[in-house]
Amino acid sequence: MKMFGMANGGADPAAVLDLRPLLQQGLDPRPVVLERAGRIAQGDRMVLEAPFDPAPLRALLTEMGFSSRAERVAEDHWRVTLVRDAQRRLESSAGAAASRMAAESCGRINRPNTPPDMMANARDYLIPASIPFRFFAGALAFHVAGWALLLVSSDQLPGFVGGLGPILAALHSITLGVLAMTAIGASFQMLPVATMRPVRSAPASRLTFWLFLPGLALLLYGFGSGRLLPMEVGGALTVAGLALFAWLVIDLVRHAGNLHAVAIHVWIAMTSLVVLALLGLMMIADFSFGYLPDHRLLAIIHGVVAGYGFMGMLVLGFSFILVPMLALAPAGNATNGRRSAILAALALGTAVTGLALANTTVIIIAGLVGLIAAGLHLLTMSQVLRGRMKKRLGNAFQLIRLGWVMLPTSIVVGLAAATSYADWCAPLFGFVLVFGWLLSFLTGILQRIIPFLASMHSSAGGIKPMLVSRLTPEAPLRLHLTGHSLGVVSVAAGIVSGNTPLIRLGASSGLIGAAAFAWFGVVVWRRLSLHLQSKS
């Protein structure tokens, strides 16, 4: 008992950290705690003052060689006394402990009550900042373009069932321009951290961008204008970029051992990517040669595989890394993750079969299985958030939660589209799936990932890193949350009612939110650049 003295008694005042002000401001206390913990000698103590028992943080410090005891001083005041145990073999550094936390977050070490942490470990696996940030910059630009295209074609959206034109360009500006670019940039940076293995080739990562960006620009121009040559060249370049991305991601997962929940999602996503790329090329060729017996059916299957297979599985899989990391929470249950992934894959395969056979009963079965998979995933994520250490989650998690609501909603609307002849069902399904679920979730993640990675890169050359809070301008994020939420609700209501002015209002709101989000990205990059220049 001697080693657990009172915080205000025998402890060195320099080793007493009051986390309450940081948590009240919604700031991440881990960098401060890890930095201070690294200076604690064996046998010495550190005391944390917190508004609750910070169990995830205590587990992380245990990995660094600390014993801990929590004492409840008052209803909203806990005192945690930590002792660096001289009798234990300590981890080599905070980064080593964080590496284990990252592994646990992916399910490689199946201890669901242990929190993930990548704050320290991330620096060991950073790729050049220009690689992920150029993808994120592209995503921000296409985000604005997607809402703008939707605005100018608002009168065409009610009853839209496919075909060339600005709506098709708007849809792919979001799916490929925002969703895929975000997924690629996040994969190139976060998967190496999670797998503790560097990406195989930084030049190949750069080449992915320089194939994908011009290819997508040409493809969107072809879709919007109906010109075949830009569509064909753009489609070939876009698929080449996606193929290179798939090779790099598969290499990371294949050599990283059993990543449990994340790995199975990634494999299903990459399989879906192959299928949707082939279907996309077939449909582009059909515009020239007209050989497909049912172009619209293939387009529906393509959309389902792209939304729920490729992007959907990446979103669900990366949730097991990103949600615990951003909420300072324990890792999600890996067993539930594997089960929900298998159910989702079964639902996807069944849905494609039902669509191909034009069998409504099979489609309904697929939808019910998909709802079970979605429910299991959302239950797992709610359990993660209940154990979080960060109580104020901010604008980002409001968007993430909106996305979670839209996930089962999209399945229900999809079932309605398969069983109803109402003109609004099909366009509503596509809008809720893409703009409601996937775009809401991924822009919420981007709100946190962009300043997080900027903070990691701000310590280049050994200089003191910038805090995430110093990098994050809050005003544009609040505007983006308001604009996006109003845009999703208004456009959806306009599709159902056939009210073009309501769709136009929603698209305008979404465009304002997208512009604010782009400005957020510019401010973060400028603050990072000024910080690095001031230390050079």
Residue-wise pLDDT tens digits, 70-124? 787 877 787 888 887 744 433 333 334 434 444 444 333 333 333 344 444 455 5
Q: What is the pLDDT of residue 369?
A: 97
Alpha-carbon gap, residue 53 to 62, rounded angstroms: 14
450 Ramachandran zone, left/alpha/beta (phi>0; psi -120 to 50): alpha
Q: What is 265-306 written as a DSSP string?
A: HHHHHHHHHHHHHHHHHHHHHHHHH---S-HHHHHHHHHHII
CATH class held by domain 121-535: mainly alpha
Q: Which of 4-18, 86-100, 110-124, 493-507 has the highest mean pLDDT?
A: 493-507
Average pLDDT over every residue of 180-184: 93
Fold of 13-90: Rossmann fold (3.40.50)
pTM: 0.80
pLDDT at 109: 35
Task: Output the average pLDDT for the chain.
Answer: 83
pLDDT at 417 over 70: yes
> In this predicted model, what pLDDT tens digit does every residue of 288-330 receive, in sequence order?
888 888 888 999 999 999 999 999 999 999 898 888 888 877 7
- Per DSSP, the three-state class of 114 is coil
CB atoms within 10 A of CB 255: 10
The phi, psi pair for 166, rounded to 5°, reads -65, -30
Q: How does residue 8 score in pLDDT terms, banded at 50, 70 and 90?
A: very low
Q: Are 190 and 182 in contact (CB under 8 A)?
A: no
Greater model confidence, 26 or 441: 441
Q: What is the DSSP letter of 161?
A: -
DSSP state of 255: T
pLDDT digits (tens, 9 = 90+) for 243-265: 999 999 988 887 655 567 788 99
Q: pLDDT by residue (tens digit) across 63-73? A: 667 787 878 78
Assign 3-class secondary structure to 434-476.
Answer: HHHHHHHHHHHHHHHHHHHHHHHHCCHHHCCCCCHHHHCCHHH
pLDDT tens figures, 364-414:
999 999 999 999 999 999 988 887 776 777 889 999 999 999 999 999 999
Give the per-residue pLDDT at 259: 64
For 187-208, how does the pLDDT look when each residue is reduced to its tens digit (9 = 90+)? 888 778 777 777 888 899 999 9
Domain ranges of the chain: 13-90, 121-535
What six digits make up the tokens of 190? 């976060």
